[in-house]
Amino acid sequence: MVSFLRTLRSAYRVGIKEWWRQLQYIGDAKSGKFMGKDQFGNRYFENLNPTEELPGRHRWVDYAQHYYNATQVPAEWHAWLSHIRKEPPLEDRVMQNLSPPWKGRWVENLTGTRGAYRSYNTTRPKYEAWEPKVAARGGPSS
């Protein structure tokens, strides 16, 4: 449970508008140092004050789209959020040199949306649907 004093302190630090937005979207009032922004517009924060944040919850992401999906976080930032990397990708030389220039942009998982991958099958199906053949009826003979 978040203390009332911490909530007021956060409102003072981030401003009333941002504080209200945080309460609406993440259900918590957090304030911390801005660490960077990714290509999707997600913002990443860190608060190292041990009296304000629980251990392991002092790094967080503020999603640009409020459809919370973990695939919206690129691998470089995921490594930082999960404490695999100490420095954020913008400051970490290893992470900057790790990504080759020919590598494409990170694309989130689009399963269940219109942009989902659909394979194209070129093989003939084993079974074909039966289509009845209708013969013309003979009319009355004269």
- Core vs surface per residue 1-26: b (16+ CB within 10 A) or e: eeeeebbeebbeebeeebbeebeeee
Is residue 142 very low, low, confident or very high in pLDDT (cuts 50, 70, 90)? Answer: low
**Considering only 26-30, 41-45, 59-63, 112-116, which range has the smallest mean pLDDT?**
26-30
Q: Are the beta carbons of 81 and 44 closer than 8 angstroms?
A: yes
Domain ranges of the chain: 1-31, 32-95
pLDDT in tens, 50-77: 777 777 778 888 888 877 778 888 888 9
Query: Parallel, antiparallel, or unpaired for β 33-37 and 43-46?
Result: antiparallel
